[in-house]
Structures are given as C-alpha cells and as structure tokens.
C-alpha cells in the first residue's frame, strides 16, 4: 500500500502527533500533502481546519493571507458564494418587499425574519410570513426536483460502486466497467466540476489502475495545463511509480521536464528498452545528437545479453547513418556487433540494407564482403543459402563481374 491516498487516517494521526511535538510548520506540510493527494477526504479537511483554528494568530499578517486563500478556494470550488451578514439581511429584505413592504436599517428582531419588522397589521404579518415560507419551500422544491432528476440518471452507476475506498486487492471487472461508463456519462452530460469530483472519487478506489489516471489527465488537457501536471504528478510520484505508460505520457506532455522524469524512472525500473529509446528520441528532437549516441552506446555496453546488445547496435547504426549521415561509423558499429553475435540474422540484413542505400558502385566491395560474412559465418544453413542467392542476384543486377 503506497501513497497518501491510502493513508488519510495516517495523515491525520501524523498531524496530531506533530502538534503534540510542537512542529506546526511540519504539521501544515503534512496536511497539505495529504489534501493534495486526496482532496475529497472530509475527515482530513476537518482535521486541517481544526489545526488552523488552534495555531493561527489573529494578529499575524500571515493569518489574513491564509483566510484570503480559503476564500479563493471557496470561489474556485462549489458552492462559490460567501455572504456577509449585511448581504444576507439585504437578500431577506428584498424577499420581504415582494408585496410592497420594506424593513428599516436597524438590526433584525429576535423572533421575526429580517425585513418584516415594521409590519404592524397582524393579518398582513401572517400573510407576509406565509408568502415567505411558500417562496422558500418553492425554491427548495425546485432544487429538490432538479437534484432528484439528476440523481435518478446516476443512481444505477452509484449502485454499481461496491468499493468506494482504496484496497490493494484488484477490483472486479464489473466494477472497472461501471467506473468507465460512469465517467463517460458524466463527461458527456455533467458539468466540469461534477466530472472532476467523479474523477477524484474514481482514483481513490482505482488508484492502482493507470488507465483511469490517463483518462483523467486527457480530460484535464482541455481545461487546465496545471491540472494535467497535477494529475500526472500524483499518479507517477505517489501511486504508480513503476507503471511505464503513464510515465511515457507525462514525459510526452511535459518535454521540458522529460529528461528528469525518464531518467528517474529508468533508475527505478532498469532494463526497459522503451524508456531508453524514448530518452534517445528526446535528445534527437532537441538536437543533442552526441547525447543520443552516448545513450545508445551505454545501452550496448550495459546489455545483459548478445540479443539485447544487437538490438541497441542496430538502433545506433540507423541513428548514425540516417541522422548523422556517417556511413563508416555506422558500418563499424554493425561489424562489431556481428563479431559479438555471429548468429543474428538481423545484423547482416541491416548491414546489407545500409550498404544498398549508398552508391552501389562505390559500395560493391563492402556489399560483397557482407554477403561473404553471412555465407561463411555461423548462421543456419537455410539462411546461408538465402544470402548466397541474394548475392547472385546482386551480381547479376548491379555487379561489375558476375564471376
């Protein structure tokens, strides 16, 4: 079990422990890390708010900054409105004045709603209160009907969620299918805020499934670059440190940091060819040909088998020939690889292809030498016969002497 997502209770416990040890700064860092990893944890939010109540100094300028940060958070997340006492009273008075009545500017009464203090006629007062009551009920009924309608469309999906919490045991296929269909439905029919909340719920119970993190990141690409970065960061650094695909996509999304991402991942999971080749491609795109060549040479040197060494040798030879236009150096790489792995047919074929790509008259001797190496080497008899036939075809089509 890895990551803050699975240990929200531990975050709270660690926070309380740090308070007891008089480390408020460390405690705040723990809470913030926990909330970044699992923003939907109500318990963790309550612990954090209680911590701030106990530790913030009203006279400290930083307190005002923290309060402003909280208001910014409210404005960026539903519900978005924070009403002052004056704004609340004004709204009550506007509601009370629907029938032509208005209240004074004094403080509200203890028993009557704000805005109807000046109504002295008992009959009108009762009517006003009843009108207000009906209006409030009407508003809440509209909200209730809307919510009930929206819930009915999602209830089947909600009933299909059997494990809303995290566990190391794999989820059933039906559960995974339900999450996929629920997300697709919400993306198509819901608001951005609802989609984000559903994704956050999903990556709690599906934290170990990179497909959901990838889907989350792809969705956020149309809304927030920082949001994409945050999703990838949580997935790769906390929950899925050894999953290659999500690291590849993060590197592709953020090439400026791709070197560090790929290098760190390769150090964590050694021997993945796709990671080494992605690093080579990255350096090539940035024009760092020497670094790309060095990475391939290092891979050849550190290869654990002749087959792996030959694989990287072919990649290096193609890079030298196609990108750097250095035929002699490319030829040398393949000839050295053939000496190490004499039974690898692909090495001979790539050497022939490379020699064929040049000037046939100038390369005739090198092409014939390659055929002779294959024919007189350690290849299976069937392959040697094939190379012998191709040599005859070459001499007939392009050779200066068929004998």
Per-residue tens of pLDDT for the chain, all 403 residues: 444 444 455 555 554 555 444 566 778 788 888 887 777 777 888 888 888 877 777 777 777 777 677 666 666 665 556 666 677 677 777 766 654 554 444 444 445 555 555 556 677 777 877 888 888 888 888 888 888 888 888 899 999 999 988 888 999 999 999 999 999 999 999 899 999 999 999 999 999 999 999 999 999 999 988 999 999 999 999 899 999 999 999 988 887 778 888 888 888 888 889 999 999 998 998 888 999 999 999 999 999 999 999 999 999 999 999 999 999 999 999 999 999 998 999 999 999 999 888 778 888 888 899 999 899 888 899 999 998 999 998 888 887 776 6
Quick one: pLDDT at residue 24? 66
- Helices 360-375 + 381-397 axis angle, to 10: 160
Find the helix or strand (DSSP H, E) in which 232 lies.
helix 225-234
Instruction: Tell the residue number behind the tokens 């760190």, with chain if given.
Output: 264
CB atoms within 10 A of CB 346: 15
CB 73 within 8 A of CB 39: no
At CB < 8 A and 24+ separation, what contacts does 348-351 make? Answer: 348/373, 348/374, 348/377, 348/379, 348/387, 350/314, 350/317, 350/318, 351/317
Domain residue extents for the chain: 4-58, 302-403
Quick one: pLDDT at residue 104? 47
Q: Is 57 helix (H, G, I), strand (E, B) or coil?
A: coil
Quick one: pLDDT at residue 70? 66
**379 phi/psi in degrees, rounded to 5:** -70, 160
Quick one: pLDDT at residue 213? 96
DSSP 284-338: HHTT-HHHHHHHHHHHHHH-SSHHHHHHHHHHHHHIIIIIS--HHHHHHHHHHHH
Instruction: Tell the residue number behind the tokens 């009370």, with chain if given.
Output: 96
**402 phi/psi in degrees, rounded to 5:** -70, -15
pLDDT (tens digit per residue) in 80-124 = 566 666 776 777 777 666 545 544 444 444 455 555 555 566 777
The answer to whether the 4-58 and 302-403 domains have the same CATH topology is: yes
Say which DSSP state 102 is in.
-
- Give the side-chain half-sphere CA count within 13 A for 142: 5
CATH of 4-58, one of 1.10.8, 2.40.50, 1.25.40, 1.10.10: 1.25.40
In angstroms, rounded to a whole number, what is the distance separating the alpha carbons of residues 30 and 165? 21
Fold of 302-403: 1.25.40
Instruction: Tell the residue number behind the tokens 């792995």, with chain if given.
Output: 341
In angstroms, rounded to a whole number, what is the distance separating the alpha carbons of residues 233 and 262? 13
Find the helix or strand (DSSP H, E) in which 38 lies.
none
Quick one: pLDDT at residue 322? 92
Quick one: pLDDT at residue 151? 86
Indicate the pTM of the whole model.
0.60
- Give the side-chain half-sphere CA count within 13 A for 114: 14
Name residues whose C-beta falls within 8 Å of residue 344's C-beta, 6 or more positions apart in sequence: 306, 307, 310, 337, 338
CB atoms within 10 A of CB 332: 13
* Angle, CA 169 vertex, CA 165 and CA 173 arms, to 5°: 85
């Amino acid at each position: 079990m890895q990551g803050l997502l699975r240990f929200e209770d531990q975050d709270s416990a660690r926070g309380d422990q740090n308070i007891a040890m008089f480390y408020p700064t460390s405690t705040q860092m723990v809470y913030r890390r926990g909330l970044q990893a699992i923003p939907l944890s109500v318990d963790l939010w309550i612990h954090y708010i209680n911590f701030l109540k106990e530790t913030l100094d009203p006279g400290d300028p930083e307190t005002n900054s923290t309060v402003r940060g909280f208001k910014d958070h409210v404005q960026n997340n539903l519900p978005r409105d924070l009403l002052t006492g004056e704004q609340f009273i004004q709204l009550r008075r506007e509601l009370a004045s629907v029938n032509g009545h208005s209240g004074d500017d004094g403080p509200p009464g203890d028993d009557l709603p704000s805005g109807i203090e000046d109504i002295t006629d008992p009959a009108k007062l009762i009517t006003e209160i009843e009108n207000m009551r009906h209006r409030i009920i009407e508003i809440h009924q509209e909200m209730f009907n809307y919510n009930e309608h929206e819930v009915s469309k999602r209830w089947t999906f909600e009933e299909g969620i059997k494990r809303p919490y995290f566990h190391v045991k794999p989820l059933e296929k039906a559960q995974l299918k339900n999450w996929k269909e629920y997300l697709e439905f919400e993306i198509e029919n819901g608001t951005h805020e609802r989609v984000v909340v559903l994704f956050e719920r999903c990556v709690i119970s599906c934290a170990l499934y990179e497909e959901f993190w990838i889907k989350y990141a792809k969705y956020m690409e149309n809304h927030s670059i920082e949001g994409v970065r945050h999703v990838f960061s949580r997935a790769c650094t906390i929950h899925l440190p050894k999953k290659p695909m999500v690291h590849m996509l993060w590197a592709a999304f953020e090439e400026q940091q791709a070197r560090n991402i790929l290098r760190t991942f390769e150090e964590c999971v050694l021997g993945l060819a796709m990671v080494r080749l992605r690093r080579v491609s990255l350096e090539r795109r940035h024009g760092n040909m020497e670094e790309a060549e060095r990475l391939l040479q290092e891979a050849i040197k550190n290869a654990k088998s002749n087959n792996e060494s030959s694989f990287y040798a072919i990649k290096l030879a193609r890079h030298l020939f196609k990108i750097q236009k250095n035929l002699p150096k490319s030829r040398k790489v393949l000839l050295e690889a053939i000496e190490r792995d004499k039974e690898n047919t692909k090495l001979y074929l790539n050497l022939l292809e490379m020699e064929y790509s040049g000037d046939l008259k100038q390369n005739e001797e090198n092409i014939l030498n390659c055929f002779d190496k294959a024919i007189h080497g350690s290849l299976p008899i069937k392959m040697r016969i094939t190379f012998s036939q191709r040599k005859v075809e070459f001499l007939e089509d392009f050779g200066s002497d068929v004998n």
